[in-house]
Each structure stands twice: as C-alpha cells, then as structure tokens.
Amino acid sequence: MTPHFPAGHPHPDMETYRGGEAGGVQLPVGALQAALATEHAAVWVYGVAGAFVSSTLTRRLDEAATAHQARRDATQRLLLDAGVTPVPPEPGYVSPEPVTDAASALRLVITAETDTAGAWRSVVERSPADPDLRGTALEALTAAAIRATRWRATAGATPLTVPFPGAP
C-alpha cells in the first residue's frame, strides 16, 4: 500500500538536515516530520477504531494508542530541540474506506501501523549512522510491524507477516 503522508513525503535527495552544530546528531528533518505525521494519524485512527471493535480489544487498542502518543511526543521534542517546528496533526483525515464495523476498523489500524513502519524505516535510511536516532527509528519500525502482525491475526488476515516491513 502506498502511504500518503499528510505533510508530504520528502524525496531522499531533497532531505534537509538540522542540528550537528554542537557535536549533536544531524536530524533528517523531512523524514522525522513525515514520521511524526504518521504518528498523529495513528493516534487519530486508534481513537476512531475504539468505537467499532469489541470491548475485549479495548486494552490492546489503548496500549497501541499510548505507544503512538509516546512516539509522537518524543519526536516532537527531538524536532523542537533542533529548532524545528513539529508538524501539527491535520485538522481532519480521510480513511481509505469508511469505518463501519470491527473488520473495517481493524483494517484501518493495520494501515496506520503499515504507514508508521514505512515512515520510521525512512528515518533509518536518511539518518547518519547514529546509534541513538537509528536505534529509535528501528525500535519504532519494529514495534509497528509487530502490532500490524498481531492485528492481522486478530482480523484473521493472511499472511500475518511481510518480508520487509516498512519497505515501499
């Protein structure tokens, strides 16, 4: 699935970098803003999905939403510390299909996890070889891939895994 990042997905050759002046890490600003935008979208998605799935899934939805909120907040701090204004959430989102029941709600959260995985993989790709930033981005990619797999299992979707999570 082709992600459509709300803030526009920068071409690798058009990446801008910030930071690095005081021995800090050069941040790939465009990739981080795109990742932040997918985190905003994921937080919104989990809010929507909660209304349509069985209450037995509430805890898992809450955990996922909390994880995305934490990732969103950490990414905002990273950008602010580098003197960059973080992208805000969009005033509205249009989901790929109407969410009308549990099945369409689960497809939506799987799509959100797929999008965040793709955005964090791009952060890995455009980061300097820095353990902190690449490690953070890898952790976010891995967590999103695992949640996508678990939601596919919940939804009865197959296959449960993809060989290259986050790859375009």
Start-to-end CA span in the chain (Å): 8
What string marks each residue from 131 to 150 as x (binds another protein by CB under 8 A) or -? x--xx-xx--xx-xxx-xxx
Q: Does the protein bind another protein through residue 70 (CB under 8 A)?
A: no
Does position 4 interact with another protein (CB under 8 A)? The reply is yes
CA distance 135 to 124: 8
Residue pair 36/87 in contact (Cβ under 8 Å)? The answer is yes
Rule CB under 8 A: say whether 164 interacts with another protein.
Answer: yes
What residues make contact with another protein under the rule CB under 8 A?
Answer: 1-4, 6-8, 10, 12-18, 26, 29-30, 41, 44-45, 87, 90-96, 111-112, 114-115, 117, 121-122, 124-131, 134-135, 137-138, 141-142, 144-146, 148-150, 153, 159-167
